[in-house]
Amino acid sequence: MSDSTMVEEQAIDTEETGQHNGAMLQIRDLRVWFELRRFGFGRAGWVRAVDGVNFDLLHGEAIAIVGESGCGKSTLMKTILGLYQPTDGKVSVQGDAVGKLGSVGLKEYRSKIGYVQQDPFGALPPFMTVRAILEEPLAINNVPVHERAERIKKAMVEVKLTPVDDFLGKFPHMLSGGQQQRVVIARAMILQPALIVADEPVSMLDASVRVEILKLLRALQESHNLAVIYITHDLSTVRYFSERIFVMYAGKLVEKAPVLSLLRNPEHPYTHALLAASVDPDARNASSLREVPPGEPPSLVHPPSGCRFHPRCPKRIEGLCAEEEPPEFESHPGHLTACWLYK
């Protein structure tokens, strides 16, 4: 049985049984706006990077947030990490609301979240050894000195950087791209977080290494019952890693569904466009070519009225889509689409 078939069957089992044990991340009506100012002229408007996002993430669940560059997914990620403050709405991890935390509370909050960056070489301090890189978060969070060596060794074994002693004294430039990303993952895991946020974790790696890193993240998720948010623009990899997919466009989530439901029966016209533009590495999943809607994503300073995709949408309903913003409609259990076609 192929790896893709095994992962697909696991996804089906998860969707049918719903084997999770409660929400650990809650996002309610989240807005993250950035003020624009012109020198000498005051405020020039707002960039509505995230504009009314709602979802729950369950313990032990992996979700993928997909969309074009500039759709707001990185801003959403940085708000979850506590790097941006919400303009409005709520983000909470295990009951801790980001917007209400002081410096001490924010430090404790961030210790619950591991972050896997897109560029492993740029994410690792060039003049620190692997040992120093992995020890730094332990020191910042006051882990006793006598525990650190064992924690570092355990993290390195889990990400398959073995023999451990061969890697501890190396600097980032002495490692391959895949090994660098394993160090980044080990650093994200070192504080035993409840949530991992992975920002395009394989886009900078060779194709031969990407599957290994996704398998590693999947194995860590299952062994530690981790919640994982996988940020990507590439729909060709999400079927092998996630239980649910959230499609983001112009600061809003336009479709949310179990992974196989969305890939087999996409509903929102923008999701159709993303799938048409993606190339699946497994030839068995190839489908006939579809037309990609013309145009560019809208300005987040002056977004369109109504549905934000309507200027590019080949199926727009005249007199409705341009005037009224669609709510989420549930066409199938767990499959939500913000589109008037499913009213």
Asked if residues 277 and 260 have their Cβ atoms less than 8 Å apart, the reply is no
Q: What is the pLDDT of residue 40?
A: 66
Report if residue 151 sits inside a domain: no
Report if residue 154 sits inside a domain: no
Helix (H, G, I), strand (E, B) or coil at 307: coil
Q: What is the pLDDT of residue 276?
A: 81
User: For residue 321, what is the domain's CATH number?
Assistant: 3.40.50.300
329-332 and 96-97 as β-strands: parallel, antiparallel, unpaired?
Answer: unpaired
Angle CA(286)–CA(266)–CA(240) in degrees, nearest 5?
Answer: 55
Element (H, E) at 293: none
Tens digit of each residue's pLDDT (9 = 90 or more) over 7-30: 344 443 444 433 444 688 999 999
Report if residue 35 sits inside a domain: yes
Strand order in the sheet with 335-337: 113-116, 195-199, 227-232, 62-66, 244-249, 252-258, 335-337, 329-332
Tens digit of each residue's pLDDT (9 = 90 or more) over 123-144: 999 999 999 999 999 999 999 9
Report if residue 72 sits inside a domain: yes
Asked if residues 258 and 244 have their Cβ atoms less than 8 Å apart, the reply is yes
DSSP string, 255-270: EEEEHHHHHHS--SHH
Number of domains in the chain: 1
Report if residue 147 sits inside a domain: no
Q: What is the pLDDT of residue 279?
A: 61
Q: What is the pLDDT of residue 96?
A: 78
Task: Give the chain's largest Cα–Cα span.
Answer: 68
Q: Which two tokens stand for residue 111?
A: 């210790």
- Host domain of residue 220: 3-112+193-342
Helix (H, G, I), strand (E, B) or coil at 287: coil
C-alpha–C-alpha distance, residues 266 and 63, integer Å? 16
335-337 and 113-116 as β-strands: parallel, antiparallel, unpaired?
Answer: unpaired
Tell me the residue length of the chain: 343
Mean pLDDT of the chain: 86
Spans of the chain, pLDDT less than 50 = 1-21
Report if residue 99 sits inside a domain: yes
Report if residue 44 sits inside a domain: yes
Q: What is the pLDDT of residue 290?
A: 53
This prediction's pTM: 0.86
335-337 and 252-258 as β-strands: parallel, antiparallel, unpaired?
Answer: antiparallel
Asked if residues 49 and 300 have their Cβ atoms less than 8 Å apart, the reply is yes
Q: What is the pLDDT of residue 234?
A: 77
Report if residue 122 sits inside a domain: no
DSSP string, 209-239: HHHHHHHHHHHHHHHHT-EEEEEES-HHHHT
User: According to DSSP H, which parts of 48-176 are helical?
Assistant: 73-80, 103-110, 120-123, 130-140, 145-158, 164-168
Q: How far is CA 241 from CA 176, 197, 218, 245, 256, in A?
A: 23, 13, 7, 10, 16
Q: What is the pLDDT of residue 1?
A: 39
Phi first, then psi: what are they for 52, rounded to 5°? 90, 60
